Structure 1
């Protein structure tokens, strides 16, 4: 054994003991490529001891860990880097030797380990803190960044040290995350965006919190955008906003995935962002108003060339307003001005509620003999296919979709508005929400006993009563089906002029409905009952598997189609249907697949789910578009004065 080996054993034995030292030196001699590398290890340990004896001891103590992880072949480069860090700070050297064996053990192959150590050594000559942080993330960094780009990514971190060390170190920590969503040529723009979020705190000190949070969270947000080109544009727009107002930049970044998700394709997203950058160069608040409204508009006008022209016209008009007034442009893009609403209506090519609101109001007033307010449903432009009419609990306001374009002509869409409004007015006139739970006291007792809910608190609303059933969604659908049928029957009886339109919309709904998807037995039964309740004199094909059940249940439903039927009876009929359905379908718990058909047309006559809460084996049916959304929460034990219409006059019970 050479003198060099003996000297190295003696040095290591001071900390590790003779046996361990001899084993390490023998393994080191086997691992290194050249014999003089053993001598190099000895020389580097001596040099390290001259800098700091404590750090040298830490290095020796880490040798067994390095050997255990099979990394003794990198011992010379490992020690060389440790010396560079120890020269900067003894504490830095101690951290390095404690953490580095584990880090190197995670990096494969050897060529990449050598690259990491070489890059870190070059980095240590400029900044030890950045070097140590890079080493900590290097196992992940080398899996997402190519070797030829590694230096460029780190160069950005070194530049950030001129701003703040905390920001620079956070950047280095986030390199793996951001490299997964952004290419190198967009990384500098991303970092620049973050720097624009630096602000002054209440004590007049520079506050880097916004920047650090941006570096931590933005990669995840950007990852929600599928298109790389869109991510780059999101950063561009955000940076422009942050330059004028950091809060606007942060708001845009956080909202961008949700907003752009509604846009039909990448081309439209890029168009919206390109225009957004133009607005952001002028005013941050106006740009935010535009960015929040444009995706909604693009999502509903379609993807045709004509739609593009309409969108451009809307945007151009807004920019013309911006040239004269920032406040006016903010109102325009937020759709708070008459001009903006007119532009949007032109772009959407449907029938806006604003255009026919007075007609609808006069129609309902003539129908019921009372004054009702007609207003647009909130956010109904972005939910055009699922927006459903509603009536307020006090019966004073009917809310309708802001736009209808279900039919090709203005006349047909206007008629649909009238029928929707009439249906909601019918719920007011015929007492749907005038019902109270006091009149259903006996039914509440029956339900609680039947389903073992006696110990539960007594329900205070009809919705709470429905939740006592094993399948709340099923009983709610049955109630809506029966109550809607009652109101529709009374509307046609009291106002024969509505009969043709109601039957036409129902007929179209039935003929366009598809049963190609799988339905459970309960779902299929309720679906067929719904079709029967809207079919009037039209025939409805009954599924062979449930003909017997429908023959029993449909006559039960028909008892509600009487001039004297009340909202209370509708609830009781729904309960009777639920119980009978349980009894009939007890042996039929398995899934029934509906008959297959070649008809692939969309269900143009249907709207969203009739109820939202469902049992585990029951999904709600879809409801017809002209029938609005009913709310069982409005029917309660103790309520505000009940509003009804009697002999053309509004009456509040108890007054």
Structure 2
């Protein structure tokens, strides 16, 4: 090392030693690394600048140490001229705070590669912007410089400037929040790219001045929410959010989050259209724009994207007339909005047509049949699991909650009619009234003999559910079948196959009877059958036995020409189709369906469920191949000679369900119907034992209990039995004229699950009804806005009634006199008289018919009016809303002058005395006047004999 440079080192080491030995070490290490990068004069200037830094303040030597330490890394990046400017920026920062200068120097080696030398001044300026002369602002500025390498690795200079302005705005509210946001900024912004990042930060800046409390949530959750928006539309979405921030303040982030989640439910190709429609609203009502985007997914569930503009236009026009009305429209709190959606939608909602279908079902079946959603049946836990398939459990019809299969509302309504008609057909034509020992009208009865020929069932286990152990040699007889339907299915070894075959033949019988009896439904019914045929799987791709069953499904839908079957087995198919055609006679009963099942089972049993490739010559069946007379019922299905190829059979699987036939569970429905009948006859005791239910669950292929395992069968059967009893109780309570009081506690209904230790029945839940409510601001009804809770009120005390009469005795007498003056009597029309004012034309017509038929006619053909009765009935409607709890007139209460003299010990005595005075003379409320008025009115009505 040259002597001049040694002298420089020695000189400055002596000058730096008083500040810190570590500063001297940093100086010497950096000087050695610089080497020939600086001349002696430049080295002297560099050392002097560090010394000036150290002299700035008490701790500024730390900044000088960072300055010396990073010089070997920064000098090659900036060159001599740029290095001097960089050093000067550090000196300027040191005048403000040595910590700022130290952090600036410390961060420079990692930050400078990401920014141009010309931008160093901008970088320093951002630190200046955050520094306010306080220790907290200095700490935040230091944090900014320390985090600059990570920030500038993700952001350009313009984006960094927006970020710092955002953090600076937060400082006015909370330095802790600003510090946290600055800490997570680099990581939070990492998923964003290009224009998205700039727009995201611009919205953040707007949010800081309007909804600053949401800034942290926005940075943490915003990028993931923004990813829900189509990439091309994210800038527009953020600009819309920023406009809302300027206009609506703190609701901006809520809009951003909710609208993002809503748009995530919509096809991204539609985002541009939806944002354009929202932008049309934002100038007139930011809230309307917000609500439009939030409710768009719900609207698009009911209408196609092509018509969303029409729905939007209607709301936009309403917004011009009334801001509140337009906002309610887009919020889906307007009957006008609901009506517009209904007009544009092809979907048919069950809730809107259930009353029509209920009356339609009553007309078909002649009985009161309720119509409910299939979702409600699936939730009962009594064996049904499909929430969108039509079905019945014997007392009601359950249909999908909505149908949107066709673009035309009338066609979708026809789908509902077909669904409902088929289920009503099961009730009308006696599907569930099957009797095992009753003969059919067509087929000879063979099931009794088949039952006698089957192998005896295995004895039950020696230990029953009560833990009783049988004596040695004692065998517990198996419990008998619960229903005739269970007894019938017990005949078959393959219960699933038998159940599938019975469903096919019984559905076919019902379809034929419906088409014959009700011509109005014939065309929609046949169209539905044709549509189902188009959806069927290819029979020649299924194992042979399953192909046999599949072809029977096609035949039952009127698709005999669509049957595909091996030529060598054509005789079997001809026999099977003959059984189906025989069953289609009008006199066929459900017992005939059972006999047809028995015959088809014998045919199917002889067909091995081998793969279709093992048979050749699969071909469509012609009418000539199926030349079977439907009148040969005695021999059909009894002579099946099958020559099947040898091969490993596949496990049998049920055919693809027929959509409009739904879930068919005859065994379960008959069990429910039997339980209902026996409960009505014998009371509340359940006629079904756990052993019988467990046996039924083990055998049945109809009941599916989720996640049932063999080890849990006992527990599952108990749960199933509990659900059955609960359902039967509810149906019994809902019978006309049956009132079930709701338990009350402190005058309020007790509902929900009981936490008491006793095992009493759960309280009956009250009924809830929803009504529209008029919104005077929006000028429209809010759909289903008011919830009315209906429950019988506990009977009150006679003392209140007597006190009211005593208090208003004079008013009672006046009211009675007024009512007695208003005793209107009605002229009642008396018919079927021997003489009177005029002829009774109904009686005259009957007289003429009977005389023409040479039957002695009734001579009572006159009528007249008689004043014989008073026909008056009164119903009182009592307003019991919360507003009736208000006092009628606020009156000033007079209290004795307080005498507790600011003594806390005497204050409580004074307060108790004042409270007692209030209870003795409580203020009168609106509801109190209503109750007193009712007492007076009913007393007056009783005096004149009117009903109320």
- SS of the counterpart of 2:414? helix
Going from structure 1 to structure 2, the CA distance change for 1:140 and 1:397 (only over 3 Å counts) comes to farther
CA distance in 2, matches of 1:214, 1:300: 32
Deviation at 1:27, TM superposition (A): 1.3
Q: Pick from 302, 326, 329: which aligns with 1:332?
A: 329
- SS of the counterpart of 1:636? helix
Greater helix proportion: 1
Q: Say if 2:99 and 2:142, in contact at 8 Å, map to a contact too.
A: no
Q: Say if 1:234 and 1:256, in contact at 8 Å, map to a contact too.
A: no
Listed one character per residue, the Cα deviations across residues 411-468 of structure 1 (whole Å, up to 9, x for unaligned) are 543321112334666899978xxxxxxxxxx99x99xxxxxxxxxxxxxxxxxxxxxx
Q: Which shows bigger deviation, 340-349 or 177-186?
A: 177-186
Per the alignment, residue 214 of structure 1 pairs with 218
Per the alignment, residue 185 of structure 2 pairs with 174
Per the alignment, residue 254 of structure 1 pairs with 257
Q: Say if 1:321 and 1:328, in contact at 8 Å, map to a contact too.
A: yes
Q: Pick from 270, 292, 295: which aligns with 2:294?
A: 292
Q: Which has the higher contact order (CA 8 A, sep 6+)?
A: 1
Q: Pick from 616, 637, 649: which aligns with 2:721?
A: 637
Q: Say if 2:278 and 2:293, in contact at 8 Å, map to a contact too.
A: yes
Going from structure 1 to structure 2, the CA distance change for 1:492 and 1:242 (only over 3 Å counts) comes to farther
Going from structure 1 to structure 2, the CA distance change for 1:423 and 1:5 (only over 3 Å counts) comes to farther
Aligned pair 1:372/2:458, yes or no? no
Per the alignment, residue 946 of structure 2 pairs with none
- SS of the counterpart of 1:398? strand
CA distance in 1, matches of 2:420, 2:403: 14
Deviation at 1:212, TM superposition (A): 3.1
Q: Pick from 230, 234, 240: which aligns with 1:236?
A: 240
CA distance in 2, matches of 1:425, 1:15: 99
CA distance in 1, matches of 2:155, 2:224: 18
Deviation at 1:638, TM superposition (A): 1.5
Q: Pick from 163, 180, 195: which aligns with 2:208?
A: 195
Q: Say if 2:419 and 2:660, in contact at 8 Å, map to a contact too.
A: yes
CA distance in 2, matches of 1:333, 1:312: 12
Going from structure 1 to structure 2, the CA distance change for 1:400 and 1:196 (only over 3 Å counts) comes to farther
CA distance in 1, matches of 2:90, 2:143: 14
CA distance in 1, matches of 2:654, 2:236: 42
Deviation at 1:260, TM superposition (A): 2.0
Going from structure 1 to structure 2, the CA distance change for 1:23 and 1:196 (only over 3 Å counts) comes to closer
Deviation at 1:140, TM superposition (A): 4.0
Deviation at 1:50, TM superposition (A): 1.8
Listed one character per residue, the Cα deviations across residues 64-113 of structure 1 (whole Å, up to 9, x for unaligned) are 6x58x95564696776555555543455556666xx35x744x5x84737
Q: Say if 2:390 and 2:662, in contact at 8 Å, map to a contact too.
A: yes
Unaligned runs of 5+ in 1: 199-207, 379-385, 432-441, 447-476, 571-576, 578-582, 589-618
Per the alignment, residue 416 of structure 2 pairs with 417
Going from structure 1 to structure 2, the CA distance change for 1:27 and 1:411 (only over 3 Å counts) comes to same
Going from structure 1 to structure 2, the CA distance change for 1:26 and 1:95 (only over 3 Å counts) comes to closer
Q: Pick from 123, 131, 141: which aligns with 1:120?
A: 123
RMSD: 6.0
Q: Say if 2:554 and 2:563, in contact at 8 Å, map to a contact too.
A: no
CA distance in 1, matches of 2:545, 2:27: 82
Per the alignment, residue 25 of structure 1 pairs with 31
CA distance in 2, matches of 1:487, 1:126: 83
Q: Pick from 30, 41, 60: which aligns with 2:65?
A: 60
TM-score normalised over the length of structure 1: 0.59
Per the alignment, residue 511 of structure 1 pairs with 534
CA distance in 2, matches of 1:511, 1:122: 73
Q: Say if 1:233 and 1:274, in contact at 8 Å, map to a contact too.
A: no
Q: Say if 1:240 and 1:281, in contact at 8 Å, map to a contact too.
A: no
CA distance in 2, matches of 1:327, 1:565: 65
Q: Pick from 478, 481, 492: which aligns with 2:511?
A: 492
Q: Say if 2:346 and 2:412, in contact at 8 Å, map to a contact too.
A: no
Listed one character per residue, the Cα deviations across residues 177-226 of structure 1 (whole Å, up to 9, x for unaligned) are 5563645774575135413653xxxxxxxxx4223322432233123212
Listed one character per residue, the Cα deviations across residues 3-36 of structure 1 (whole Å, up to 9, x for unaligned) are 3344456658964599886554221235x56665
Per the alignment, residue 629 of structure 2 pairs with none
Q: Say if 1:486 and 1:565, in contact at 8 Å, map to a contact too.
A: no
Per the alignment, residue 604 of structure 1 pairs with none
Equivalent runs, 1:76-475 vs 2, <5 Å: 83-90=91-98, 92=100, 100=106, 104-105=109-110, 107=111, 110=113, 112=115, 114=117, 117-128=120-131, 129=137, 131-147=141-157, 150-151=160-161, 154=164, 157-158=167-168, 165=175, 172=182, 174=185, 177=188, 180=193, 182-183=195-196, 186=199, 189-195=202-208, 197-198=210-211, 208-237=212-241, 239-240=243-244, 243-244=247-248, 246-247=250-251, 249-264=252-267, 266=269, 268-280=270-282, 286-298=288-300, 301-302=303-304, 307=306, 310-325=307-322, 328-349=325-346, 356-368=353-365, 369-374=367-372, 388-389=388-389, 398-406=398-406, 411-422=410-421
Listed one character per residue, the Cα deviations across residues 99-150 of structure 1 (whole Å, up to 9, x for unaligned) are x35x744x5x847374665433233333345643443443344344445665
Going from structure 1 to structure 2, the CA distance change for 1:229 and 1:137 (only over 3 Å counts) comes to farther
Q: Say if 2:177 and 2:216, in contact at 8 Å, map to a contact too.
A: yes
Going from structure 1 to structure 2, the CA distance change for 1:194 and 1:626 (only over 3 Å counts) comes to farther
Deviation at 1:531, TM superposition (A): 8.0
Unaligned runs of 5+ in 2: 132-136, 377-385, 433-456, 462-495, 584-588, 598-603, 613-652, 665-702, 707-718, 739-948
- SS of the counterpart of 1:388? coil
Going from structure 1 to structure 2, the CA distance change for 1:319 and 1:165 (only over 3 Å counts) comes to same
- SS of the counterpart of 1:51? coil
Going from structure 1 to structure 2, the CA distance change for 1:543 and 1:70 (only over 3 Å counts) comes to farther
CA distance in 2, matches of 1:41, 1:349: 81
Q: Say if 2:374 and 2:401, in contact at 8 Å, map to a contact too.
A: yes
Listed one character per residue, the Cα deviations across residues 467-521 of structure 1 (whole Å, up to 9, x for unaligned) are xxxxxxxxxx999988975874574376455788666535423424688xxx9x9
Going from structure 1 to structure 2, the CA distance change for 1:377 and 1:345 (only over 3 Å counts) comes to farther
CA distance in 2, matches of 1:35, 1:324: 82
